[in-house]
């Protein structure tokens, strides 16, 4: 059974009350679809970046984050992605959630008011305890970097 964590969303303006809160499309969905809270359609030209408002702020419990990821349908059909994918919404952030969309295609794309533009994934956060040392354990890979494991 999957543990449920309560996430509080706050609408920032009543003007967009008709736009649904983020939601899971199916019972097996890992991500919640989030929608554009815009008054007019936005024309996203090829290789153009737009920050799209959602009219939502969020309260995430400490120890968690929300990752902002592209929607696969927008990516596959229209070349629309999230510029800083995955984006992170920290548990102590209370400002408006905005989605940084980029059009990787050669065609213009029109973002419609209320359109599903990204997905939100709730993730557990682990804090690292850093320790400076003079030596590291050896590994089979060693210092092999980019492309080290080959193309097969």
For the domain that residue 117 is a member of, what is the CATH number? 2.70.40.10
How much is the pLDDT for 144?
Answer: 72
Question: Which is nearest to 53 in space by CA: 7, 107, 98?
Answer: 98
Domain boundaries, position 44: 8-124
Q: Whole-prediction pTM value? A: 0.87
How much is the pLDDT for 75?
Answer: 95
Structural domain contains residue 137:
no
**Structure confidence by residue, pLDDT tens digits, 53-107:** 999 999 999 999 999 999 999 999 999 999 998 999 999 999 999 999 999 999 9
61: tokens are 């419990």
Structural domain contains residue 148:
no
Give the whole-angstrom CA distance, residue 87 versus residue 69: 7
Give the whole-angstrom CA distance, residue 123 versus residue 99: 18
Structural domain contains residue 62:
yes
How much is the pLDDT for 142?
Answer: 79
């Amino acid at each position: 059974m999957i543990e449920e964590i309560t996430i509080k969303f706050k609408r920032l303006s009543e003007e967009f009350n008709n736009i649904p809160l983020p939601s899971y499309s199916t019972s097996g969905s890992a991500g919640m679809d989030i929608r554009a809270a815009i008054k007019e359609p936005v024309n996203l030209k090829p290789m153009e970046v737009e920050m799209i408002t959602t009219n939502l702020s969020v309260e995430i419990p400490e120890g968690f984050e929300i990752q902002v990821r592209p929607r696969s349908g927008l990516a596959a059909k229209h070349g629309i992605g999230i510029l800083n994918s995955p984006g992170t919404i920290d548990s102590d952030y209370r400002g408006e959630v905005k989605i940084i969309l980029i059009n990787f295609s050669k065609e213009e794309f029109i973002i419609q008011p209320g359109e599903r533009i990204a997905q939100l994934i709730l993730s557990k956060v682990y804090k690292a305890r850093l320790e400076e040392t003079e030596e590291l354990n050896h590994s089979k890979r060693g210092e092999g970097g980019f492309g080290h494991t080959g193309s097969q």
